Amino acid sequence: TQLLEQSPQFLSIQEGENLTVYCNSSSVFSSLQWYRQEPGEGPVLLVTVVTGGEVKKLKRLTFQFGDARKDSSLHITAAQPGDTGLYLCAAGGADGLTFGKGTHLIIQP
């Protein structure tokens, strides 16, 4: 089982600030996914990264996959209250994804 360490565990910042959250492992991933979960709902896929060094952008969110495919980061530019939620990284195959414990993000107006 791949162990995924996410940091920070909790982050509370003001609207308009930038932030980065991290997902790290000692294992090499064939691919890695980021999910966002809002209270009372199931996680929703944001992005899948596959290639080492890959960078993907989703509006104000930038996802990067490490060159060695052992780590990933999520950068949010000009955070908004709507970005509040639990951000999860995950990796795995058909036998199910392994998830990190997540970063709880609160964006204060």
Partner 1 sequence: DAGITQSPRHKVTETGTPVTLRCHQTENHRYMYWYRQDPGHGLRLIHYSYGVKDTDKGEVSDGYSVSRSKTEDFLLTLESATSSQTSVYFCAISESAGPSGNTIYFGEGSWLTVV
Residues that bind partner 1 (CB under 8 A): 1, 30-33, 40-45, 48, 50, 88, 90-102
CB of 75 to partner 1, least distance (A): 21
Q: By C-beta, is 42 or 109 nearer to partner 1?
A: 42
Of the two residues 4 and 76, which places its CB atom closer to partner 1 in the complex? Answer: 4
- Supply the minimum distance, in Å, between the C-beta of residue 8 and partner 1: 15
- Smallest gap, in angstroms, from Cβ of residue 50 to partner 1? 6
d(CA 76, CA 20): 6
Q: Is the Cα dihedral 48, 54, 58, 60 positive or negative?
A: positive
Q: How many whole angstroms separate alpha carbon 54 and alpha carbon 63?
A: 8
Looking at the Cβ atoms of 44 and 58, the one nearer to partner 1 is: 44
- DSSP secondary structure string for all residues of 12-60: EEETT--EEEEEE-SSPPS-EEEEEE-TTS--EEEEEE-STT-EEEETT
Comparison of 94 and 109: residue with beta carbon closer to partner 1:
94
